[in-house]
Structure 1
């Protein structure tokens, strides 16, 4: 059996653990709360995030990161994006030699404006290679990059935990590694495709959270389908503009990691970012909305880092700017909408 470690016991980490187990892997989940870990092992259920869903027998949990990481062929990282660097700095010395590092996170790091795969490379490349790791170990950025993979797409955790059909993209610079991960998570209900465009896949996942907030705000304000369709379409254009400057393949944004993930996030009540935005659009303050949200809505923090990344590369992203002005600057949504709509007219391709 392929051994997998999943760091994170939130809804997506738990759901993806099920996918791996259903594909024939043996999975050890790491959780920071010992009480939840004990509950997972005793009841085969994660009551905090996926109540009523029974975990396969080949999924176990531990609060010991070394035990989770031991002998794992794939190490899956499913923690909030802004906590990745600090967590991984503690876990990196414990990782199995040559393990493939799989990011489930969809965000951009505050301060550095780095994608999650870049954060992983930063941390792991700084660790001395373990004995026996060889050229594929953590001895250099090139070696690390070839074993950092990203899994993304329209993957709402609750639906996947119910084993409803879904597709995803497995992206890695090393195509053979992507195919290995594809095999490890391919089930009758979960269909992964491979891609070597890590940049495009990560940007699609990060920016769609920001656009999801925008569409949620529009819903909360009671705006119509025309407005929401416009936000989705122009939001995708913003993503593609940034991707073009960063070297992404334009075709990625027409696929599951781009349009597919964007549509799911902007249209589903299961989307945390959409729900967060809806509450803001209804007039709740940021503090009130945070208090009403149990799980992390990655776009809330990543909207600032996405905008930072865009400005570093002189890319215009007006919807992202509008979301930042509402979420972090306290601008009333109606005022922000009027400013967005009054921007100078231009050709659609710009």
Structure 2
């Protein structure tokens, strides 16, 4: 089928490569004319995946209408801040007869509204313009997918049929896809793990060892699942690929821009300086504010998120944030069953 991939960053490019290698007709859309020209002429996305040669069949374009024309599936891989405008563009360009499945692979929360990505999509998109919405997420560095490292991810949709179609479109010998119907859990796991990855990079920069890393990942998963369950997610989703799987890979690898940003936080850089240094959107920094506010609204304890929020948005020192985190009142570690009963 024809698939339009909207977003020519590292992840969009890597997923376009997967689709092209599965013999689909792939149009890769981006705004930067020189980048798009370079991809068409050299089959290399020099800025984001310089070591990867793309299939000849991928057509890159800056013309959104061309990318969307007769596409049976649209894959959205733009930053969270661009989701709403992208959906408004789709409203103007899609025709009722096409009704593609729309999949997003963006990991964040809209900062002002605190909505999940699919909620923004449902709020903006005219329902008659698409067949179903889905989210693709899981432990998946773009660089590794591009070189065909074994990768497993999850696709979630309220329509299991749509999820199975997406599964079939993406699956191959190195890229395995599982289906799920818990859109809330998959989206929240994807968004909130970026916050914990900031903390992982921070403690790495400060020289802490494996004990601290294990504690951060474990307690990070606990607070992600607390908020997720309160917001309607299936708790079992958080021990799956889009939960603990994505959390582990993002918290332990220098491929992760959020992990790299965490190291810069430990060096004392301000938010704007971090964005400039990383030169890509750091979703964890933006999501941290939205998650902090959601935790207050839902009366959920998220101490790691809170500590990072105070450092990023209230200029607390790293030492103060760590001390506040470690010197909280003693707690009991509860089983999953007790956790659910409390919720």
Task: Determine if the TM-score, normalized by the shorter chain, exceeds 0.5.
Answer: yes
Alignment of structure 1 residues 1-350 onto 2, 5 Å: 2-95=1-94, 97-125=98-126, 137-138=128-129, 147-349=132-334
Moved over 4 A (4+): none
Secondary structure in structure 2 of the residue aligned to 1:148: strand
User: How far 1:284 sits from its partner (Å)?
Assistant: 3.1
Alpha carbons 1:197, 1:248 under 8 Å: kept: yes
TM-score by length of 1: 0.92
Task: Report the Cα distance in structure 1 between the residues aligned to 2:233 and 2:271, rounded to whole angstroms.
Answer: 33
Alpha carbons 2:275, 2:282 under 8 Å: kept: no
User: How far 1:291 sits from its partner (Å)?
Assistant: 1.9
Deviates more, 1:94-103 or 1:270-279: 94-103
Task: Report the Cα distance in structure 1 between the residues aligned to 2:204 and 2:94, rounded to whole angstroms.
Answer: 44
Task: Report the Cα distance in structure 1 between the residues aligned to 2:214 and 2:91, rounded to whole angstroms.
Answer: 43
TM-score by length of 2: 0.94
Task: Report the Cα distance in structure 1 between the residues aligned to 2:109 and 2:181, rounded to whole angstroms.
Answer: 19
User: How far 1:246 sits from its partner (Å)?
Assistant: 1.4
Task: Report the Cα distance in structure 2 between the residues aligned to 1:58 and 1:196, rounded to whole angstroms.
Answer: 32
Alpha carbons 2:90, 2:125 under 8 Å: kept: no
Task: Report the Cα distance in structure 2 between the residues aligned to 1:21 and 1:275, rounded to whole angstroms.
Answer: 30
Q: Residue in 2 aligned with 1:133?
A: none
Task: Report the Cα distance in structure 1 between the residues aligned to 2:94 and 2:26, rounded to whole angstroms.
Answer: 15
Q: Residue in 2 aligned with 1:141?
A: none
Q: Which structure 1 residue ranges, 5 or more long, are not aligned?
A: 130-136, 139-143
Partner deviation per Cα, 1:204-248 (whole Å, 9 max, x = no partner): 000000000011111111122111111110110011111111111
Task: Report the Cα distance in structure 2 between the residues aligned to 1:290 and 1:284, rounded to whole angstroms.
Answer: 10
User: How far 1:257 sits from its partner (Å)?
Assistant: 0.4
Task: Report the Cα distance in structure 1 between the residues aligned to 2:271 and 2:36, rounded to whole angstroms.
Answer: 31
Deviates more, 1:146-155 or 1:288-297: 288-297
Cα RMSD over matched residues? 1.3
Alpha carbons 1:24, 1:184 under 8 Å: kept: no
Alpha carbons 1:200, 1:252 under 8 Å: kept: yes
